[in-house]
Structure 1
Amino acid sequence: MNPRVKVSSADFQRNFGRYQDMALTQPVAITRNGRERTVMISVEEYERLKRRDRQVLSLDDFTDEMIAAIERAEPPEEASQYDHEYQP
């Protein structure tokens, strides 16, 4: 994604359509008193970010089948490049 554009809230209000179009290709940071307060992004970027949200589960949310699947899981071969970081 392209670097974001910074715009004052007053300019944003005067040129809303322009910045709305710009937000389709890059984030638009709206400032107030010189400080970034909000960012306008495209729906596609918003949906992409939402897909990356992680769901947090409690241990009680796991079924026995899920726990067994986790216990059987093996890391992919390419994960071995990080073996040096593990210190038992």
Structure 2
Amino acid sequence: MLVVTSAELRKRFGQYQEAAQNEPVSITSDDQGGLVLLSAKEYERLKRRDREVRRVEDMGEDFLQALATAEVPAEHAHLDAELGDWRP
């Protein structure tokens, strides 16, 4: 992700507007990340992925069994560090 200050964004808005078509642009102010400039296409993609909530009662037995026995692929083991000390 490209990171720019709000002052830099004001000076070269067109440049960062174009960059946001390819990657998110984080806009900082007083060393705080507060805003992200991204393309409309990326925004729409993220909106489509909004979380859907389903009741367990509405899930089929096959799905629940698959969920209970699912394992994380080895190539994603490095993400365990994201959990910190939290464990179910």
**Where on the TM-score scale, by shorter chain, does this alignment land: which range?**
0.5 to 0.7
* Aligned twin of 1:18: 15
Instruction: Return the TM-score normalized by structure 1.
Output: 0.62
3-state SS of paired residue (1:53)? coil
Q: How many residues align?
A: 69
- RMSD between aligned alpha carbons? 2.7
* Aligned twin of 2:46: 49
Runs of 4+ in 1 over 4 A off after TM superposition: none
Identity %: 38
1:5 partner amino acid: L
**1:31 maps onto 2:28 in alignment:** yes
Structure 1: segments with no counterpart, 5+ residues:
60-65, 83-88
How far the C-alpha of 1:73 sits from its partner, in A, is 4.3
Structure 2: segments with no counterpart, 5+ residues:
72-88
How far the C-alpha of 1:72 sits from its partner, in A, is 4.9
